[in-house]
Chain A
Amino acid sequence: MSVRSSDKPRRFMTDAASNGADRGVNASRRTESIMRIVERCRQGDRHAQQELYEEFKDKVLRLVVRMVGQQDAPDLVQQIFLQTFRNIRQYSGRAQFGTWLYRLAINECLQLRRRIHRTTCCTLDHEPIDDSMSWSLQSENQELLGRALEGIDAGLRAIFLLREVEELSYAEIASVLQVSAGTVGSRLNRARSRLREELIELGWEP
């Protein structure tokens, strides 16, 4: 077992556009150019806003789809970017921009879920989080994981997705969720244990 592997791609955080394989000089250039785009966004530059959107929309969509389901995803993505552009002056530049955007996105997801749970009966619970073209094409276990994810607390789901789907490091997750790195580990333990329980209840055989 190796230690603190640094070969994991951190695609969103430093290198959203490329394949994420090169985290060296290119990555820091990428960060710089994102910072320049952000700077122009702060001044309300419409072209910069578009560049920023094109840069991050797919990552945000993916997170949103996994957090709230496909049905509300397009509207929520729009809402997240409207909030981003409205609040971008509040971004201090201390954390990575990606971290800030993830935090905003997750907050919006959690808020939407709370609203939906308050105002309607059961919509989300019945909606498959999994959005493969047709479930018959997908492996049974992946279908199960989609359902298991629905069954766990949204906060635990968020941390699991940040780690397993977005491939963030513990330090990055800590920064998104504003908790300590140690907390990240124990929350991930909880998330994985809960998922494991849900999966086994659904008939998963590890």
Chain B
Amino acid sequence: MNCSQVRELMSALHDHELRPEAVAEVNDHLRDCAECSRLVSEFGELSNLAAGLRNVSMSAPGWATIEAALDAHSWTQSQFVRHLRSRPARIAIAAGLLVAATVGIGAYYLRSDHNDHEHVAAHFGHFLDEFDRNPDEAEQVLLANYSGQSVSLDEAARQLKYQPVAPNGLPKGFTRDRVYLLKMPCCVCVQSRYKDATGRTVVVFEHVDDQPAWFGDRPTMMVQCHGLATCLVQVDGKLAASWKRQKRVITLIGALDLEEVSRLVEFLNELYPQSAASDQALNRSDGCKCHHCICPSVVHSDLVLRNATDTRPPWQHLQ
């Protein structure tokens, strides 16, 4: 046999699917041909690598999900595509918080032509769904989808090309647990995970791109906090808040109540580089004189609700 005949049989040889007579002939050739021998051994290395693909870190949907879909209707292909595109379509109820609930962010991202927003919203929606029950598992959704990389503060700053605020620490009582970089479609996002004394997880994301899709179409509420337009969302028993200062968007997940949101917003606000004089002018730091503030000292009754038809990113609503 010559090289090209042998190569035609190479997979069959490697997979033990070759007729015995042919095996002997191929082996004869391999003894004398270094090039073909090398290819066979590379097939072996490919197989070894491929064995690593047998484990999958996610699990299949539960039967209840399948059963619900079976019950719902018989789906057509086009319905399925629509379903993929409209995820997440969950409406959480902001019970116990304040009666405010408006929908608007969802409309904003669905109008975007770029599918990335939808995927980010879907992943983030999944993350929020899981967060209260099991923050570690929730985190894996983002880590797996956005090549999560655990980094030191120096490494984070190096890759982001700016000094992030959120990984520097939260007020006394919180310890920093991990810092990750997530390669989101639009930019790199830094995720800082903190724990308090009770083991509760608080996660803070920081990035520099307008990404209004994170809360999907969950009910949100806009408030002023320390002069910053802040978007609030109830995540099961906890609160999430997102605000923008300078070019940074900070999103905080896992606060216990409004007071804590206010405290953390104030704390992170203090950490901004003080050299940015223009920013100082934009965000008055002279205490809380804001009319619609959620800070403890201010009455909560005068919250600003977003207009449901307003499709601007949330932080622009009050600015």
CA distance A67 to B69 in the complex (A): 23
| B65 at interface, CB cutoff 8 A | yes
Shortest C-beta distance, A70 to chain B (Å), equals 6
User: What per-residue 1/0 map shows which CB atoms of B1-36 lie under 8 Å from chain A?
Assistant: 000000111111101111110010001000000000
CA distance A82 to B53 in the complex (A): 26
Shortest C-beta distance, A146 to chain B (Å), equals 8
Q: Are B15 and A188 in contact (CB under 8 A)?
A: yes
With a cutoff of 8 Å between Cβ atoms, the chain B residues found around residue A71 in the complex are 119, 122-123, 145
Q: Are A75 and B83 in contact (CB under 8 A)?
A: yes
With a cutoff of 8 Å between Cβ atoms, the chain B residues found around residue A77 in the complex are 60-61
With a cutoff of 8 Å between Cβ atoms, the chain B residues found around residue A65 in the complex are 56, 58
| Known pairs A73-B58, A78-B61, A78-B66; A165 contacts B15 (CB<8 A) | no
Q: Are B60 and A60 in contact (CB under 8 A)?
A: yes
| A192 at interface, CB cutoff 8 A | yes
Q: Are B57 and A132 in contact (CB under 8 A)?
A: yes
With a cutoff of 8 Å between Cβ atoms, the chain A residues found around residue B66 in the complex are 49, 53, 78, 81-82
CB closest chain-B residue, reference A5: B16
Stretch at the interface among B146-154, B195-203, B214-222: B146-154
CA distance A165 to B52 in the complex (A): 9
Shortest C-beta distance, A82 to chain B (Å), equals 6
Q: Which of A70, A74, A111 contacts B144 (CB 8 A)?
A: A70
| B273 at interface, CB cutoff 8 A | no
Q: Are B52 and A185 in contact (CB under 8 A)?
A: no
Considering only CB atoms and an 8 Å cut-off, how many residues of chain B contact the other chain? Answer: 63
CB closest chain-A residue, reference B73: A82
Stretch at the interface among B38-46, B103-111, B224-232, B264-272: B38-46
| B172 at interface, CB cutoff 8 A | no
Interface residues of A in 60-104 (CB under 8 A from B): 60-62, 65-66, 70-75, 77-79, 81-82, 85-86
CA distance A57 to B64 in the complex (A): 13
Q: Which of B49, B83, B140 contacts A141 (CB 8 A)?
A: B49
CB closest chain-A residue, reference B48: A141
Q: Are A135 and B140 in contact (CB under 8 A)?
A: no
Shortest C-beta distance, B71 to chain A (Å), equals 10
Interface residues of B in 41-85 (CB under 8 A from A): 41-43, 45-47, 49-54, 56-61, 63, 65-67, 69-70, 74-75, 77, 80-81, 83-84
| Known pairs A121-B115, A142-B52, A145-B53; A206 contacts B45 (CB<8 A) | yes
CB closest chain-B residue, reference A130: B53
Question: Counting chain A CB atoms within 10 Å of each CB, which of B15, B65, B83 scores highest?
Answer: B15
With a cutoff of 8 Å between Cβ atoms, the chain A residues found around residue B145 in the complex are 70-71, 127
CA distance A130 to B114 in the complex (A): 23
Q: Are B143 and A134 in contact (CB under 8 A)?
A: yes
CA distance A121 to B61 in the complex (A): 28
Q: Are B7 and A120 in contact (CB under 8 A)?
A: no
Q: Are B49 and A163 in contact (CB under 8 A)?
A: no
CA distance A126 to B119 in the complex (A): 12
| Known pairs A3-B18, A134-B150; A115 contacts B56 (CB<8 A) | no
CA distance A5 to B14 in the complex (A): 11
Q: Are B63 and A54 in contact (CB under 8 A)?
A: yes
Q: Are B116 and A123 in contact (CB under 8 A)?
A: yes
Q: Are B47 and A164 in contact (CB under 8 A)?
A: yes
| B185 at interface, CB cutoff 8 A | yes
Shortest C-beta distance, B9 to chain A (Å), equals 7
| A50 at interface, CB cutoff 8 A | yes
With a cutoff of 8 Å between Cβ atoms, the chain B residues found around residue A58 in the complex are 56, 59-60
CA distance A120 to B10 in the complex (A): 38
Q: Are B149 and A136 in contact (CB under 8 A)?
A: yes
CB closest chain-B residue, reference A111: B77
| Known pairs A135-B147, A161-B53, A196-B46; A188 contacts B11 (CB<8 A) | yes
CA distance A175 to B287 in the complex (A): 73
CA distance A58 to B42 in the complex (A): 29
Shortest C-beta distance, A57 to chain B (Å), equals 4
Q: Are B63 and A53 in contact (CB under 8 A)?
A: yes
Q: Are B75 and A82 in contact (CB under 8 A)?
A: yes
6 tightest A-B CB contacts, nearest first: A164-B50, A188-B11, A57-B60, A5-B16, A120-B115, A61-B60
Supply 15 A–B pairs (Cβ within 8 Å), ascending by A.
A3-B16, A46-B67, A65-B58, A77-B61, A78-B69, A81-B66, A82-B66, A82-B75, A86-B74, A115-B81, A135-B147, A138-B52, A165-B50, A189-B7, A199-B46
List chain B positions with a Cβ less than 8 A from chain A: 7-13, 15-20, 23, 27, 38, 41-43, 45-47, 49-54, 56-61, 63, 65-67, 69-70, 74-75, 77, 80-81, 83-84, 87, 114-116, 119, 122-123, 140, 143-145, 147-150, 185
